[in-house]
Amino acid sequence: MSSEHLVAGVDYPRTFQQLLEWFPDDEACFQYLAELRWPSGFVCPRCGGVQYWRTDGGLWMCQACGRRTSITAGTILQGTRTPLATWFAAIWFVMSQKNGISALGLKRVLGFGSYETAWAWMHKLRRAMVVPGREMLGGPGKVVELDETFVGGVAENRPGASTDKVPVMLAVEKHGRKLGRMRAEVAARPGTTAIIGFAASVIAPGTDIHTDGSRMFTRLAAMGYSHHGTAAVHTPDKETVLPGLHLVAALLKRWITGTLHYGISAEQLPYYLDEFTFRFNRRNSGSRGLLFYRLLQQAVTTEPQPLNTLVSAEW
């Protein structure tokens, strides 16, 4: 199929070979991104005009006011000097692997000259993995498990809040024995009431929230939730108290170990959690090409991410 006849959202590559055939150059990528950014047709960001010319430099020039607009302006692709076909390939490799790819793996497969370039690309894409205004978990009559887990290295004989690992708040939907969607967020300190605020921000009112027996969770009942707490102190197998959440926590830690090889700083952990959440919530997708499309769609609606916004002072 010719790239000029592709319809974003309907047509997306099913294989890497098809990706190469559809998007061999920047012009083919421009046309596809235009469908994503302006699904109802071009709209000038200055005057709202809809009539335009294409310039020799690949810009959209408004016939009404003369403003030139780049298809990548205002997106995570803004200012890139790398061919867009390479960006498309990067997004394909990130999404085509069930468990993702590390920055080192991306460097090798795309032939980047430095690890830092691959690292920056991965973090730009992670910034695009959260949809603003996304739907809350649960709802009336539905169950969500809520608790804290800890990620990091090994902390022998220092359980729970005494550990120096990073506390991560988790919320996971339960549909009988099956799991639904999840949310994750880093906590500043373990064992605080911040998890109550986290619950209010990600779980819809009316949800039946299942927690352990911690007293702080009792305030959920006054916030419009149905609360069911089970004390785990004297339970021989604590994972039976919140089985869905414990499974997700185990998968998260396995992903950090197996895919990222512990290559995570505490400052960047929130964005790795975004990637894990993006993948987990789309784990049942039958098409890797559709995931490629979803991430590309979000990439053109995510604000630019200059390198200095990606890198912490300690990096």
In this prediction, residue 119 has a pLDDT band, given cuts at 50, 70 and 90, of very high
What tens digit of pLDDT does each residue of 216-273 get?
999 999 999 999 999 876 666 666 789 999 999 999 999 988 877 656 777 889 999 9
In the numeric block, which tokens belong to residue 168?
A: 């991560």
> Could you count the other beta carbons within 10 Å of the beta carbon of residue 314?
7
Residues 6+ apart with CB under 8 A from 126: 271, 272, 274, 275
Residue 183 bridge partners (DSSP) = 171
The CATH code that applies to domain 143-264 is: 3.30.420.10
pLDDT in tens, 66-116: 999 999 999 999 999 999 999 999 999 999 988 889 899 999 999 999 999
Tokens of 127: 């910034």
Q: Choose among 146, 128, 147, 102: nearest CA to 274.
A: 128
The full length of the chain comes to 315
State the sign of the Cα–Cα–Cα–Cα dihedral 161, 165, 171, 172. Answer: negative
Structure tokens at 60: 């959209």
pLDDT of 313 reads 39
Q: Which of 278, 292, 236 is nearest to 87 (CA)?
A: 292
Rounded CA-CA distance 305/307 in Å is 6
- Mean of all residue pLDDT scores within the chain: 89
Which has the closest alpha carbon to 36: 305, 292, 286, 285?
A: 292
Whether residue 165 is predicted with pLDDT greater than 90 in this model: the reply is: no
Whether the CB-CB separation of 169 and 245 falls below 8 Å is answered with no
**Cβ–Cβ under 8 Å, residues 265 and 103:** no
User: Which CA distances in Å does 221 have to 197, 207, 289?
Assistant: 13, 10, 43
Residue 238 CA to residue 253 CA, distance in Å, equals 18
Q: What is the pTM of this model?
A: 0.88
Half-sphere exposure of 174 (CA within 13 A, CB side): 21
Model confidence band, residue 315 (pLDDT cutoffs 50, 70, 90): very low
Backbone conformation region of residue 133, classed left if phi is above 0, alpha if psi is from -120 to 50, else beta: left
- Whether 55 contacts 285, CB under 8 Å: no
The C-alpha atoms of residue 148 and residue 175 are separated, in whole angstroms, by 20
Cα–Cα distance, 26 to 83 (Å, whole number): 6
Measure the CA–CA gap between 65 and 48, rounded to whole angstroms: 9
**Distance in angstroms (rounded) separating the CA atoms of residues 43 and 52:** 9
Q: Would you place residue 5 in the very low, low, confident or very high pLDDT band (cuts 50, 70, 90)?
A: low
The domains of the chain are located at 143-264
Count CB neighbours of 284 within 10 A.
Answer: 6
